Amino acid sequence: MEDLLKDNFALYLKYSIGDSIIAVEFIKKFYETIANDPQLKIEKQITTSSQIGVELIRNEIGRENYKQFLGYEKFSGYEVPARMAFNFNSKKTKGWSVLGLPPHILDGERALHGGRNETFIYGYYPDKCLYDYDLASAYGTALLMISDVDWKVYKQVWDISEINARSIGFARVKFKFFDWVKYPTFPVRTAYGLLFPLEGDTYITWTELYTAVKNEMLESYEILESRLYKRKDKETIPLIVSRQIMKRKEYGKDEIENFIYKLSVNSIYGKFAESSYNNDSINIKKSFEADKIVKRYTQNGSLYNPMLAAFVTGYIRALAGEYLLYFQNNGVEVTSVTTDGFLINRRLTDDEMKSVGYLSRLTSWIRDYWVNDNNVLELKHYGESAFSFRARGYMTMKKFSEDINKTGKDDPRLVARGGLQIKDKDLDNIIRILFEKFLNAKPDNTYNQKRSSNLEDYLDGIESYTMICQEVSENMDFDHKRNPIDIKPSLIDYKGQTYEKIVFNTIPWNTVDEFLTVRDRYKKYLQNRSNNNKLQSIADYEDFSKYLNREGKEEIEILTKIVYCLLLIGVKRKDIPKILEVSKDFVSKRIKSKRFQNIRLGRQKITPISDYILQFHRDLVDKNIAKLDKAFGDQILKLIA
């Protein structure tokens, strides 16, 4: 639009006025829709779509009772602890705040994870057909499963015979999936997002554990900590949500009302999950009136309940996981999973869209009961000539022959850009641009990404409110959330030129540590070369593989030398595994080695680590030295560096 403003002001004005009219018409329709909904009974002006969820809950349960319904306890007094909501006008604490939510409910944050986003197959497959299936109304469906809860009655559980797929609560579980499981279902948090390893230790919901056990995916598991809440024989949330889903069905997919009712359901989950401890937000209206920054304290969302939010996200992951298991067992190839949907290589039958296991059967029955629809899945997109390169980065490039004349919103092809910003709005152009970026991926490729200027800087007069152009790296590498296998060359003929790329399948990582080792070394691999796009050919992966092996050997050698130093300066043998976070066997082998015996007897010296190697492993050395007394640390540095 900035270019249009400079080149053709009249056309710019026409577009701007048109956009403004569209925005006004949407707001008008938004308010008309919620004003005519008998379930909402709005008593105040709604300024955000998320407030619809709040009003739905308040009006059904009662404005005086909805906090108790969510497990909050009232408090009184004038002291203002940290994190407490505060009324700056009266200088008194409000009647409710997040502090009114007991710790046993706040602990649910441990099991509140995001969606599952993974790419299982990498590369371009010109003859492959893909079908994009979504869980039908995923968040709404999960909300239909929630019974009312007696938040004051809860206990620890050690045996899953006491739970079912609709149980509310969480468990910390030490787990190991069978080696044959291609798509493990328990999320583990890492610095790089969620990982789904074959074994580990994590917090999950009861739905996730119950479904994995029922589907016989686990070789072993141990509940280390847990909480199970008592469910009541009443279903308030499903009653509210089902009404909104049924209202949505009255409108076509392209009608604004359909979108508004979808927002009304999703906003309930959004408010359950909304957490913002000690956040200051800008009060836009007052800032403009005062011509300066005016901030307000933002407490947690008014419906915040991490236990209910965790149930919703856990239910969606468990249901998607059950389908992934079915696909594995029935020869269906899965290209990727994205929160509530997956790309697969064949069309499903009507029966498969309703159920493939215990949890999907339950879901189908519940959906039929509440919203007269027993389909668990719905087909969203499809096409052929498949291409995928990382989580949320994939597309089907061609239409099926029978869809050749479908355009615009009727075009069935799927395109997900993987975070890459592409200006063009035409689907064919987007596909072409994204594919050419993949073909021409080089280490130093960058592109200009646009973002709006900082609102706070604008209000402070530091910069004008405009679009800022920023140069960013253009990375087409795999994200390594899974372990690549069967890496093969792929020759692609495109516009008279042949490109050498790669294709590969993946398997899950055994442990988080295994993933972090590779991911951290990949990060180093990038840092010590050019920016991105290092793994685009067989030669690239062979080079990276050599680098991984070399890095592993170098780290072992550094740890070995630190073990020798600790022993020489008098650190007890039994304390070393804990200090260095290595196994007892690792230390024992070093002590028994002929090399250490020669060092101990003075026949051989510890060879210092070269500066070249040390530059790549400085963090490893510093991390271990930092655990020691300064005098010991200095001694070790003299010996090895």
CB atoms within 10 A of CB 313: 26
For position 47, what pLDDT does the model report?
72
| Res 538: pLDDT | 85
Give the model's confidence band at 280: pLDDT under 50 very low, under 70 low, under 90 confident, else very high.
low
SS3 track for 249-293: CCCCCCCHHHHHHHHHHHHHHHHHHCCCCCEEEECHHHHHHHCCC
What mean pLDDT is predicted for residues 371-394?
Answer: 89
pLDDT confidence of residue 278: 43
Q: Tell me, what's the pLDDT at 59? A: 86
Q: What is the pTM of this model?
A: 0.80
- Spatial distance between the Cα atoms of 214 and 207, rounded to a whole number of angstroms: 10
Task: Report the range of poorest mean pLDDT among 243-252, 358-367, 369-378, 389-398.
Answer: 389-398
> What's the Cα-to-Cα distance from 471 to each of 2, 422, 444, 529, rounded to whole Å?
18, 13, 12, 19
Confidence of residue 412 (pLDDT cuts 50, 70, 90): confident
Which residue in this structure is represented by tokens 């149930």?
A: 311
Q: Write out the E strands in 178-246.
A: 188-190, 193-195, 199-205, 218-231
334 or 522, which is more confident? 334
Distance CA 384, CA 400 (A): 7
Q: What is the pLDDT of residues 143-161, one digit of tens each?
A: 999 999 999 999 999 988 9
Q: Taking a C-beta distance cutoff of 8 angstroms, is the pair 72, 104 a contact? A: no
Give the best-scoring range by mean pLDDT among 77-86, 393-402, 449-458. 393-402
Is the separation of the CB atoms in 204 and 173 below 8 Å? yes
The confidence score (pLDDT) of residue 77 equals: 41
Given a cut of 60, whether residue 509 has pLDDT beyond it is yes
Q: 222 is written with which tokens?
A: 């141990």
pLDDT value at 440 more than 90: no
pLDDT tens profile 19-54: 899 889 888 888 888 888 777 666 666 777 788 888
- pLDDT > 50? residue 556: yes
Cα dihedral sign, 121-198-522-116: positive
Cβ atoms 399, 412 nearer than 8 A: yes
Confidence of residue 84 (pLDDT cuts 50, 70, 90): very low
Closest C-alpha to 449, from 427, 462, 468, 435:
468
Spatial contact of 194 and 113, defined as CB atoms under 8 Å apart = yes
Task: Return the closest-CA partner of residue 193 out of 119, 107, 113.
Answer: 113
What are the backbone dihedrals phi and psi of residue 261, each rounded to the nearest 5 degrees, phi first? Answer: -70, -30
Which residues in 283-392 belong to E strands, given as ranges? 295-298, 334-338, 341-344, 377-390
Residue-wise pLDDT for 341-371, tens only, equals 999 999 999 999 999 999 999 999 999 999 9
* β 279-282/415-417 pair status: unpaired
149 bridge partner residues: 231
How much is the average pLDDT of 315-320?
97
**Amino acid sitting at position 275:** S
For the residues 408-427, what does the mean pLDDT come to? 80
Find the helix or strand (DSSP H, E) in which 207 lies.
helix 206-214
Other beta carbons within 10 Å of 35: 11
Give bridge partners of residue 123 from the DSSP assignment: 388
How does strand 218-231 pair with strand 169-177? antiparallel
Residue 5: helix, strand or coil by DSSP? Answer: helix
pLDDT of residue 85: 37
What pLDDT is stored for residue 83 in this prediction?
36
Separation of alpha carbons 309 and 314, rounded Å? 8
Q: Is the dihedral of CA 311, 317, 322, 325 positive or negative?
A: negative
Over residues 109-116, mean pLDDT: 92
Q: At what angle do helices 236-248 and 358-371 cross, to 10 degrees?
A: 70
Which of 88-102, 271-285, 503-517, 610-624 has the least mean pLDDT?
Answer: 88-102
User: How large is the average pLDDT for residues 246-261?
Assistant: 88
What mean pLDDT value characterizes the chain?
83
Band the pLDDT of 92: cuts 50, 70, 90: very low
Residue 374 has pLDDT above 90, yes or no: yes
Is the predicted pLDDT of residue 4 greater than 50, yes or no? yes
Q: Count CB atoms within 10 A of the CB of residue 639.
A: 18
pLDDT exceeds cutoff 80 at 528: no
Q: Which amino acid makes up residue 622?
A: D
Q: Is the pLDDT of residue 247 over 60?
A: yes
pLDDT band, residue 586 (cuts 50/70/90): confident
Angle at alpha carbon of residue 97, lines to 64 and 39, rounded to 5°: 40
User: What is the 8-class DSSP label of residue 323?
Assistant: H
Q: How far apart are the first and last CA of the chain?
A: 57
From residue 288, alpha-carbon distances to 192, 285, 293 in Å are: 39, 5, 8
Q: Compute the average pLDDT of residues 436-457.
A: 72
Burial tier of 6 (Cβ tally within 10 Å: 0-12, 13-18, 19+): exposed
Q: Choose from 98-112, 196-210, 426-440 the range with maximum mean pLDDT.
A: 196-210
* Confidence check: pLDDT of 78 > 80: no
